[in-house]
């Protein structure tokens, strides 16, 4: 049982059902790996709570119950509030907050029998592309500890890649599931906006935030997403659609599948060591029967300015509740209510969060709302129209996830705009509310992973996962393991 972390979710499922090991054995094996890890992927681990959930799963298994995730360990990004564990959003503002209830995603996975391993590190309030903006310190990439893991779901991505957890939840506002999945060599999917409940998800940008699934393979992500997704009356943005089995199209041939390649995704900004693996992955899809078609998303370059107006504006509104009065960090020294607000927020929020609050407040202020915020919303509509036009010609869209492989820790700390530019290929789908998936496609410079991004029409998650699964049946990139995790 010393190698349980090597097993796929399907193999773990079979082992649990055949009683070759117990959910408690499995939980202990992963807790031991987490304790020994130096990646800083977890913020809060509470073995007593994990083992209690594992014992409950064992009781259900002993009673003859069978379910896809029963007894399977999962890690939760510390954006989802989780009863009994700290729920901090990786911020000093909430550093000691323990939630009295579960987010809908957490509650659904708990009901499905999944065993919570703990809360994973992330960029503060999910704001960032490198997982360096955390009150609890940066997360390290399992493939190269000197590199970032991507963000903001970098802790979840690193945990799955390093075999600290077989599955993990993440959130994606502008690419925060897909980009770290790419940089850590795992599979991650952001579903259509509204597929996964935001109830109990600590808000960043409400019209963009969406929960996502992270695992080694498309098959793993399909299992996790099937349990996470579904209508939630407590979330006003939740879409009322029947639940789905996202594995339903697995095994379908790719013959005749039309894959659009936007010219804007393959321009000069893409590094050669990213371009080559992406092109090779596309050739595999062609060999499997797919047809690639040139398309255009002409407003791709406008996604960054549109996003970095809309998202900070919504962050400014959402984070106004953290004022040092009701809950969260309260400054010890203050003279009146105004100074309490100012000092608490200055101490509680990190530099990136403060930067985005200031930008958001500015673009929402009188005299600038029409000039910036409304214009950004108009651009958002035009970006969505570009996708509509492209999907008139193709079934899905493919391209790089990020223009480069993971960069070194601290390399871009003094250049936030350069960090923002790393999201150029993930932002358009987020602004349009479309599903997007990242799957391992090879390696670039210094052996750092490269991902291929697939973007689908609304509610087309099953097709994206089926195509990714077919690719993964023909390749082994998703099965590669960092040397330190073996």
pLDDT tens by residue, 392-409: 999 999 999 999 999 999
Q: Which residues pair with 98 in a beta bridge?
A: 86
> Rounded distance, CA 398 to CA 201, Å?
29
Average pLDDT, the chain: 96
> Rounded distance, CA 17 to CA 24, Å?
13
pLDDT surpassing 90 at residue 417: no
Name the active-site residue from 37, 77, 91, 217: 77
pTM as predicted: 0.97
Question: Is 152 among the catalytic positions?
Answer: yes
Per-residue confidence at 416, pLDDT binned at 50, 70, 90? confident
> Rounded distance, CA 343 to CA 330, Å?
8
Per-residue confidence at 41, pLDDT binned at 50, 70, 90? very high
The pLDDT of residue 105 is 98
Inter-axis angle of helices 104-111 and 218-228, nearest 10: 110
The pLDDT of residue 179 is 98
Question: Is 77 among the catalytic positions?
Answer: yes
The pLDDT of residue 486 is 67
pLDDT surpassing 70 at residue 1: no
Name the active-site residue from 22, 134, 152, 402: 152
The pLDDT of residue 138 is 98
Structural domain spans, the chain: 4-255+462-485
Looking at the chain, the whole-number percentage of residues with pLDDT higher than 70 is 99
> Rounded distance, CA 313 to CA 363, Å?
7
CATH class of the domain defined by 4-255+462-485? alpha beta
The pLDDT of residue 341 is 94
Question: How big is the CA angle at 125 (ends 359 and 181), to the nearest 5 degrees?
Answer: 110
The pLDDT of residue 342 is 94
If phi > 0 it is left, if psi is from -120 to 50 it is alpha, else beta; for residue 463 that is alpha
Name the active-site residue from 87, 91, 176, 197: 176
Q: Are 402 and 265 in contact (CB under 8 A)?
A: no
Here the tokens at position 153 are: 């779901």
pLDDT surpassing 70 at residue 298: yes
> Rounded distance, CA 189 to CA 181, Å?
9
The pLDDT of residue 151 is 93
Here the tokens at position 248 are: 């339903």
pLDDT digits (tens, 9 = 90+) for 310-351: 999 999 999 999 999 988 899 999 999 999 999 999 999 999
243 burial type by CB count under 10 A (0-12 exposed, 13-18 middle, 19+ buried): exposed
> Rounded distance, CA 387 to CA 193, Å?
15
pLDDT digits (tens, 9 = 90+) for 185-227: 999 999 999 999 999 999 999 999 999 999 999 999 999 999 9
Cα within 13 Å of Cα(209), Cβ side: 25
């Amino acid at each position: 049982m010393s190698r349980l972390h090597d097993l796929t979710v399907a193999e773990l499922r079979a082992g649990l059902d055949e009683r070759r090991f117990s959910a408690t054995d499995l939980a202990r094996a992963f807790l031991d790996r987490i304790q020994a890890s130096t990646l800083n992927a977890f913020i809060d681990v509470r073995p007593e709570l994990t083992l209690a959930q594992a014992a409950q799963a064992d009781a259900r298994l002993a009673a003859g119950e069978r379910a896809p995730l029963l007894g399977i360990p999962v890690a939760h990004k510390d954006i989802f509030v989780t009863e009994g564990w700290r729920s901090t959003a990786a911020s000093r503002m909430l550093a000691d907050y323990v939630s009295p209830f579960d987010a809908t995603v957490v509650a659904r996975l708990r009901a499905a029998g999944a065993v919570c391993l703990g809360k994973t590190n992330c960029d503060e309030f999910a704001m960032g592309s490198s997982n360096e903006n955390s009150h609890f310190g940066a997360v390290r990439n399992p493939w190269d500890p000197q590199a970032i893991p991507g963000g903001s779901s970098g802790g979840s991505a690193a945990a799955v890649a390093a075999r600290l957890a077989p599955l993990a939840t993440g959130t994606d506002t502008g690419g925060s599931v897909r980009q770290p999945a790419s940089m850590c060599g795992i599979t991650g999917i952001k579903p259509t906006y509204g597929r996964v409940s935001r109830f109990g998800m600590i808000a960043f940008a409400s019209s963009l935030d969406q929960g996502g699934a992270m695992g080694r393979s498309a098959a793993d992500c399909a299992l996790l997403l099937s349990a996470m997704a579904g209508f939630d009356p407590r979330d006003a943005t939740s879409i009322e659609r029947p639940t789905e089995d996202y594995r339903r199209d697995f095994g379908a041939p790719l013959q005749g599948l039309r894959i659009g390649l936007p010219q804007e995704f393959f321009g000069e900004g893409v590094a050669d060591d990213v371009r080559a693996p992406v092109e090779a992955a596309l050739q595999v899809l062609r060999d499997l029967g797919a047809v690639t078609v040139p398309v255009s998303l002409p407003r791709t370059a406008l996604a960054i300015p549109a996003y970095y107006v809309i998202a900070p504006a919504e962050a400014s509104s959402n984070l106004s509740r953290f004022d040092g009065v009701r809950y969260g960090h309260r400054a010890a020294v203050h003279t009146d209510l105004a100074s309490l607000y100012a000092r608490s927020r200055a101490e509680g929020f990190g530099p990136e969060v403060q930067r985005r609050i200031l930008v958001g407040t500015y673009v929402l202020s009188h005299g600038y709302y029409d000039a910036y915020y409304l214009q950004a919303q108009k651009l958002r509509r035009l970006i969505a129209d570009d996708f509509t036009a492209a999907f008139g010609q193709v079934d899905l869209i493919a391209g790089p996830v990020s223009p480069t492989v993971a960069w070194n820790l601290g390399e871009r700390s003094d250049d936030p705009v350069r960090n923002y530019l790393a999201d150029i290929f993930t932002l358009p789908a987020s602004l349009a509310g479309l599903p997007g998936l990242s799957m391992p496609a090879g390696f670039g410079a210094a052996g750092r992973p490269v991902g291929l991004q697939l973007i689908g029409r609304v509610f087309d998650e099953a097709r994206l996962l089926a195509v990714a699964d077919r690719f993964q049946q023909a390749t082994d990139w998703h099965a590669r393991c960092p040397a330190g995790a073996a």
